[in-house]
Structure formats: structure tokens, C-alpha cells
A and B are shown apart, each in its own frame.
Chain A
Amino acid sequence: MTGDRVAVDTAAVWPDDADEEGGYVANWFVREGATVEAGDVLCEIQVEKVSIDVTAPVDGELVEVTLPDDAEFRRGDPLGYLRPTAGSGR
């Protein structure tokens, strides 16, 4: 069910001054199935040579990595999905 999953969004962390509309995944730091807290660093992406840490938007379980290490993506593509922990306020 996609309904209760929260996307890890690339557009939300896009640098304001970037001209490029594409980037790539440098490193994931957690694997599918891991439980994370909101604010934990999930992965590092790179846009125009700038490295950006992407953090978990909610407490929950990383249920899917859609863009693995080295994957290229367009702005707005989801990196993966979290299933929020019940009662995490989302």
C-alpha cells in the first residue's frame, strides 16, 4: 500500500542555486528494513558536485530504496519510501 508510505523526496533538498535538474546517489547509509528516526541521515546525493545529506522525514522503517547507490535521477524522483511508525505524528 503506497498510501501509508512516505516518500524520501529529492525535490525537498534540492539546492536553491542549482541549474541542473538531475543528480545522482552517492551513498546510502541504511538498508531496506532498517528502522530510523526522523532526522537520521539516510543517504547522500550529489547535485552539481554539491553533496547533500538526505534525512528521514519521519520515524519509521525504510521499506523501499528506489534509487540505489550510483543511480541517476531527476529532481522530484523519490529516493525511497518509509513506513511511518504508528503514532509518529504523520
Chain B
Amino acid sequence: MAEATEPEQTPRELTMSRAMVEAIATEMRDDEEVFVMGEDVADYGGIFDSTEGLLEEFGHDRVMDVPISETSFVGAGVGAAQAGMRPIVELMFADFFGVCMDQIYNQMAKNTYMSGGAVNVPMVLMTAVGGGYNDAAQHSQTLYGTFAHLPGMKMVVPSTARDAKGLMHAAVRDDDPVVYMFHKRLMGIGWMPAPDGPKRAVPEEPYTVPFGEADVKREGSDVTVVTLGLHVHRALDAAASLVDDGIDAEVIDLRTLVPLDAETVLESVRKTGHLVVVDEDYRSFGVTGEIVASVAESDLDALEAVERVALPDVPIPYARPLEDEVLPDADDIEAAVETVVE
């Protein structure tokens, strides 16, 4: 299916959660093999609204609440996928990966390779990431690096409703395992207000956002800001404010980490010479380092200056002043941009 063009006049806007649900519902209508399972995905509709309304249309057989047994139900997703179905499995918080990581990285991610391509695992592992609401160290992580590091899983991170829908269609149709990380703060949940930005005009018809294509969310000539998820919006805020300082920032939304669109990043850095990489994950051994390395490896001469903005290597603290201290915000991005442009 061709990618839809951005409609000029769509009367309807959707929150990110509703856009995801619309894609899942369409895929479930089109293909009996698609089903959803996870904790509180049926009657509750997903703690972060990621499955809201699906139970009413599809019933408990295809929208399955499961016991708090992540090893068992994530692994069951792997098995059902290998049997040819297309399960969408929700891990309520990415932080809970710890109780089921074997099924994720030793089974889901490796079975294709270990079988020499004889089996494949067309499942979507959908999971919530992100802090910023004082949920502390065990419920706030944005573990992009942890998952992207492990070979065998594709990995997508939407920042807008429009991308969320297209990435979900692509994820369900993909013949490989796809980890779909959505930031809680972007979903448009009543009790966790989203920033302006993720709610977008969303085409009614199905469309895909292809994997491995970063999106330039703002064009600029002075500095390249590479980011994803919630921090796309933080970076856009910073870019708007930097205009007053006469700095024209380009904001690149990676959208997918695996595959990674290093080319779009490189082209932009060749234009601007300055690179700031931003994410909400821990600083060391993660996305920020990877992006910087990929640019340096490909064209070291294009880089005049570089900064990383990420969580320092500390678990996420609870109290508001402590969490604010470690979570990168628009001001931190602005400061990093000013440092590299100077």
C-alpha cells in the first residue's frame, strides 16, 4: 500500500492512542490472524489507551486479557507468530522487560536467525516508555538503547498520531518481530496531558510509514538535532525558541531505530556541520552514542561540533526536582545547540 500524502484539509484529528487503535482495528478486520493480548487490554482498553474500544468490536477471543505472566504471554506471542498468526502483544511498561527478557531476546529476536531463516516471527511487541510524571525508577524508563542493541528486532518509536498509525500498519504487516515503543506522554490520555504536537490530522484510509525513513520535522541550516519520540516535540520547542537567537535548527525524527536511517542524518550534518543528538534514554551505550558514531564513521570531516543530550547514567528518581534535573527538556536542547553552534 502506497504511503498516503499529507492531506491539506482533513477535518478529523486524532490523538496518538486513537491513531494506533484505528490501525490495529483495521488490521484485525482485514486479517483473522491478527489478535491482541496483554494485561488490561480488554475491559480496561490498555492502561495507556492503546487498545481502547477493541474489545467491543472484537470480543475477548481476539482481545485477550492475560495473567501477570510476561514470560508466558510474550513467549506465547512468539509461538503463535511462528505458527503463522500475527499477534500484537502488549508489555504494559517497557520497564517490565526484566521479567520476560529471555522470550524477547533469546526467542523472539533470534529464532529467525538460529533457524537459518526457516522460521519467522511476525509479531508486534507494543510497550509504553517514558517518564516525566514522577513514576520513579521502575516505571519511567525509555529503553531505546537496550532493545535496539539486540539484533533481530525491528524497532519503531512514533512521535505523532499520523506516524503512529502508519508505523502500526507497517508493524503488523511486517514478517519480522517489531518492537513498537510509544511514549505515554504522547498518547493523549486524559489523565496524562500531552504536549501540543502529537495530535494530528490523520487520514481515514490505511497507509504505512516505511521503516528506515527518518522524517525531517523541521528544516534548518545551522544545526542538526536528531531525536525521537517525545523529544521530537521538545526539540521543536527548542528550535522555535532558538529562532530568536538567530539559530535555524533542523529537527530529524528518526521514527525507526532498527532499521536506522543514517543517510538522512548524514545529509543534514553535511549541510549544517553541527550535530546534537537527544533522547530520553541513559546517556552511555545508547542511541545518542550510536548516532554520533555512525556520522563520525561515515564522514568525520562533516562534523564540526557535537553534543549529546540524554539522561545521565542514574536510575530515574521520584521527587519532582530530582526527575526534572535528569530528564532532558527543551532548555537542555537549546543549551546544547548553543554550545555546538558557538
Contacts and interface: CB of A to CB of B under 8 A. Distances in A.
A–B contact with Cβ pairs below 8 Å: the answer is: yes
Interface of A: 26-31, 34-36, 40, 44, 46, 49, 51, 70
8 contacts: A26-B190, A27-B190, A29-B13, A30-B11, A30-B13, A46-B190, A51-B190, A70-B193
B127 interface: no
Contacts of A26: 188, 190, 193
Nearest to A46: B190
A27 B190 CA distance: 8
Given A46-B190, A70-B193, A30 B199 contact: no
Interface residues of B, number: 11
Given A26-B193, A29-B13, A70-B193, 12 more contacts: A27-B15, A28-B13, A29-B14, A29-B18, A30-B12, A30-B13, A31-B13, A34-B11, A40-B12, A46-B191, A49-B190, A51-B190
Contacts of A27: 15, 188, 190, 199
A36 B14 CA distance: 15
A2 B111 CA distance: 65
B53 to A, nearest CB: 9
A40 B15 CA distance: 15
Nearest to B191: A49
A33 to B, nearest CB: 8
A42 to B, nearest CB: 10
A40 B14 CA distance: 12
Contacts of B18: 29
Contacts of A44: 15, 190
